[in-house]
């Protein structure tokens, strides 16, 4: 599915233009500290003409019928693409965590890993993460691996979102 570039978008954002828009879908979350569960997700990616994209995401745990059960996670932040194909992702969470990811973008794909994590005294033990996002068949697909609570880096979340 071709992507049309918004003429008001800053040219540095072009490698991530496929992220723009509203997305919704479902995925799976699981970690040694929790039972594997299905979740729903809504993502909004916008721009205001400056050289970054604004990212806002909310996820809910789903009941067995697929209905929203409880809010699981919320994050907001900024994708900052660089002219050489590198990208920075800054995310803030209301749980007292701020993450700075660094990585590269390729055609319809971006892969980032945490460069630093700042945690408040009330946040859980969390030391590293990796995320991979891709535009596949018109959908936004992503996976996240995490090292937390004394466990090594391992699969944590994944989802497939459709443009809404």
Residue 7, in any domain of the structure: no
What 3-state class would DSSP assign to 149?
Answer: coil
Residue 111 belongs to some domain of the structure: yes
Q: Is 8 labeled as ligand-binding?
A: no
Residue 7 carries which DSSP code?
T
pLDDT in tens, 15-73: 999 999 999 999 999 999 999 999 999 999 999 999 999 999 999 999 999 999 999 99
Report the domain count for the chain. 1
Q: List CB contacts of 102: < 8 A, sequence separation 6 or more.
A: 86, 87, 88, 89, 112, 113, 114, 115
pTM of the model: 0.94
Three-state SS for 19?
Answer: helix
Residue 5 lies in a domain: no
- 6 domain residue, yes or no: no
Is residue 11 assigned to a domain? no
Per cent of the chain over pLDDT 70 is 99
Predicted confidence (pLDDT) per residue in 103-116, tens digit = 999 989 999 999 99
């Amino acid at each position: 599915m071709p992507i049309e570039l918004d003429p008001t978008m800053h040219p540095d954002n072009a490698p991530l233009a496929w992220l723009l828009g509203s997305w919704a879908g479902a995925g799976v979350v699981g970690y040694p500290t929790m039972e594997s569960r299905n979740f729903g997700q809504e993502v909004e990616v916008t721009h205001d003409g400056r050289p970054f994209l604004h990212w806002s995401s909310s996820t809910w745990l789903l009941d067995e019928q697929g209905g929203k059960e409880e809010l699981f996670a919320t994050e907001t932040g900024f994708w900052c693409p660089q002219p050489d194909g590198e990208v920075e992702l800054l995310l803030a969470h209301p749980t007292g965590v701020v993450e700075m990811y660094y990585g590269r973008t390729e055609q319809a794909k971006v892969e980032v890993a945490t460069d630093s994590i700042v945690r408040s005294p009330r946040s859980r033990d969390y030391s590293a993460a990796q995320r991979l996002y891709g535009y596949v068949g018109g959908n936004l697909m992503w996976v996240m691996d995490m090292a937390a609570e004394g466990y090594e880096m391992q699969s944590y979340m994944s989802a497939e979102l459709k443009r809404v």
